[in-house]
Amino acid sequence: MNCQLVTGGAGFIGSCYVLQARRRGIRVVNLDKLTYAGNLGNLASLRNDPDHVFVQGDIGNAELVRHLLDTWRPDAVVNFAAESHVDRSILDPEAFVRTNVLGTATLLRVVKDWLARLAPGQAQAFRFLHISTDEVFGALAPGDPAFTETTPYSPRSPYSASKAASDHLVRAFRETYGLPVLLTNCSNNYGPRQFPEKLIPLVILNALDRKPLPVYGQGMNVRDWLHVEDHCAAVARVLEGGRVGESYNIGGRAERANIEVVRTICALLDELVPSGQGPYADLITYVTDRPGHDFRYAMNCTKLETELGWRPRHDFASGLRDTVRWYLENRDWVENVRTGAYRQWIAVNYASRGAVCDAASDAQGGKA
Residue 159 appears among annotated catalytic residues: yes
CB 332 within 8 A of CB 193: no
Identify what 216 binds: ligand TYD, ligand NAD, none; CB under 5 to 8 Å per kind: ligand TYD
Q: Does 214 bind ligand NAD (CB under 6 A)?
A: no
| Angle, CA 112 vertex, CA 136 and CA 303 arms, to 5° | 40
At residue 289, what are phi and psi to the nearest 5 degrees? -70, 160
- Size of interface with ligand NAD, in residues (CB under 6 A): 31
Strand bridging mode 284-287 / 366-367: antiparallel
33 is a site residue for ligand NAD (CB under 6 A): yes
Exactly one of 31, 183, 202, 204 binds ligand TYD (CB under 6 A); that residue is 202
* C-alpha distances in Å from residue 163, one per residue of 8, 65, 170, 194: 15, 21, 11, 19
The reply to whether 214 sits near ligand TYD by the rule CB under 6 A is: yes
**Closer to ligand NAD by Cβ: residue 77 or 363:** 77
For the CB of residue 86, give the shortest distance to ligand TYD in the complex, in Å. Answer: 4
Among 19, 81, 101, 139, binds ligand NAD (CB under 6 A): 81
Binding-site partner at residue 12 among ligand NAD, ligand TYD, none, CB < 5 to 8 Å by type = ligand NAD
- If contact means CB under 5 to 8 A according to the sort of partner, which of ligand TYD, ligand NAD, none does residue 19 touch? none
| 342 given a catalytic annotation | no
Please confirm, yes or no, whether 153 is among the known catalytic residues.
no
* Residue 223 engages ligand NAD in binding (rule: CB under 6 A): no
Residues 273-302 touching ligand TYD, rule: CB under 6 A, are: 290
Least distance CB 98 / ligand TYD (angstroms): 19
* Span from 45-53, 77-85, 170-178, 309-317 in contact with ligand NAD (CB under 6 A): 77-85
Per CB under 6 A, the list member of 54, 80, 137, 147 interacting with ligand NAD is 80
Q: Show contacts with ligand TYD in window 79-98 (CB under 6 A).
A: 86
Catalytic residue, from 58, 135, 229, 358: name it. 135
Query: Rounded to an integer, what distance in angstroms lies between the CA atom of residue 290 and that of residue 16?
Result: 29
Regarding 198 and contact with ligand TYD (CB under 6 A), the answer is yes
Q: CA dist 161 to 32, 89, 136, 166, 313, Å?
A: 22, 10, 7, 9, 31
Binds ligand NAD (CB under 6 A): choice among 96, 195, 280, 350: 195
Please give the positions annotated as active site: 134-135, 159
Interface contacts to ligand NAD, rule CB under 6 A? 7-8, 10-14, 31-35, 37-38, 58-60, 80-84, 99, 103, 131, 133, 163, 186, 188-189, 195
Interface contacts to ligand TYD, rule CB under 6 A? 86, 188, 198-199, 202, 214-216, 221, 223, 258, 290
